[in-house]
Structure 1
Amino acid sequence: MTCCEGWTSCNGFSLLVLLLLGVVFNAVPLIFNLVEEDEGLKNPISCFEWWFPGIIGAGVMVIPATTMSLAARKRACCNNRTGMFLSSLFNVITIIGAVYCMLVSIQALCKGPLICNYQGNGTAACEFSFRNFSDIQLESLNLQWFFDDSCIPTASHTSSGSDGRMQGLHFDSEENKHRILHLAVFIALLLVGILEALCGLSQIVIGFLGCLCGVSRRRSQIV
């Protein structure tokens, strides 16, 4: 059988789970701030959750490929060459969304939460532009804002060695809550984006193989 319904269906289920996780992770800082501050737009954890990397990139843009792959369980996707081609095409959109999710997450991890921003703790300190992605450098992904005793700009402290790191980093102050939540959310979104990209790439390969090699007669004759 040239069409691998089992693999395609597994990809569809995996994308569905990752899609839901991306939406949930993106919503966590929004809900947290709404509960803590009772004002969801005044003092967010960071600007980057408002780029909706999990809701748009890892969520909405993954729906077409997820729907197409899950249709394989009913032999609606993998019983003709056109279906296999569309399966690959939709997963290109998935990869674009996953890359967007990864880029936003990497930039968020480089910058840290707003409470660590030297330009002020507010959305006015953030520039919502895709041009920011060109400033991303791997060496800047050192998470120094997380490992310092405090990242608040007004705090008079110097970064200590490895023995002094993580001292007092507990979920008991606004600064530490923001730092821990920011780190956890965007690492999770980064992983979601990576896994979605891998699922999309594997389905593109399977889709093109099915499109080139054709489908089995036994499957294609089933009504």
Structure 2
Amino acid sequence: MCTGKCADFIGKALIPLAVLSILANILLFFPDAKVEFASNNKLTPQVWFFHGIVGAGLLMFIPALLNTRLDEKGCCGNRCGMLFSVLFNAVGIVGAGYCFIVSVTGMVDGPFCMTDENDDESWMSPFINDTMPTQYLNLSGSYLFNQDVWTTCKKPVNVVLWNIVLFSMLICFSGAQVVLCATQMINGLIGVLCGTCMKNEVV
């Protein structure tokens, strides 16, 4: 079993997940495919945390690129490189964990939207208990499983579905990143003890 090859595989798996996380977070800024809501600061609050762009995105390139170098001969393909891999993948877990927590919060709280098309002051997060319109105060369970109340949000159009899909994607991407980074930390510890390959090369 070669720990360097395992690290290379994990690094290459992290890169597309990071790119997809960045794209999903960017799309959250444009509900109904319009820029006006972002420019008027009328977006779901969690979008402004840049959790997919920074946490599961840019920050993830650090362990990803290091992992892809560990199967090479030279300064990175040794026990010292594996030790750095453990440290940087721990940073990756923090970034992905940040994205995961913010995405779950955004999903639970629901979108920020206009609830009355005739009232420009009706922008709120209607599915948070303390701001929920009176006709839905007795709503049992989460709004996620009660599609009838999604029409509470008049603008942006289909913002509830938009947020659910994109936050769900970010939850999946960041969750997978946590698993991969944790796996590489274990793999890195093995590499520190045994080297990047557990069998001796024939000279």
TM-score normalised by length of structure 1: 0.71
Identity value in percent = 23
SS at match of 2:123: coil
Map 1:19-98 → 2, pairs under 5 A: 19-32=18-31, 35-38=33-36, 40-75=38-73, 79-98=77-96
Q: Confirm or deny that 1:218 pairs with 2:187.
A: no
* Contact 2:70–2:81 (Cα < 8 Å) also in 1: no
| 1:180 maps to amino acid | L
How much is the aligned-residue C-alpha RMSD, in angstroms?
3.4
| 1:82 maps to amino acid | C
SS at match of 2:38: coil
- Cα deviation digits, residues 160-219 of structure 1 (max 9, x gap): 89xx9434868x953651101111111111111111000000000010111012345529
- Cα deviation digits, residues 46-100 of structure 1 (max 9, x gap): 0111101101110122111011111135445763110111111110000000110
TM-score normalised by length of structure 2: 0.77
* Contact 1:30–1:44 (Cα < 8 Å) also in 2: no
Q: Distance in 1 between matches of 2:66 and 2:83?
A: 11
Q: Distance in 2 between matches of 1:36 and 1:72?
A: 43
Q: Distance in 2 between matches of 1:215 and 1:166?
A: 52
Q: Give 1:14's aligned residue.
A: 13
* Contact 2:114–2:155 (Cα < 8 Å) also in 1: no
Distance change >3 Å, CA 77–CA 180, structure 1 → 2: farther
Map 1:139-158 → 2, pairs under 5 A: 145=127, 153-154=132-133, 156=135
Q: Confirm or deny that 1:204 pairs with 2:203.
A: no
Q: Give 1:186's aligned residue.
A: 167
Q: Distance in 1 between matches of 2:91 and 2:140?
A: 45
Structure 1 unaligned residues grouped into runs of 5+: 126-143, 147-151
Distance change >3 Å, CA 37–CA 60, structure 1 → 2: closer
| 2:201 maps to amino acid | R
Q: Which moved more, 1:183-192 or 1:72-81?
A: 72-81
Count of residues in correspondence between the two structures: 189
SS at match of 2:25: helix
Distance change >3 Å, CA 76–CA 197, structure 1 → 2: farther
Q: Give 1:130's aligned residue.
A: none
Distance change >3 Å, CA 209–CA 46, structure 1 → 2: same
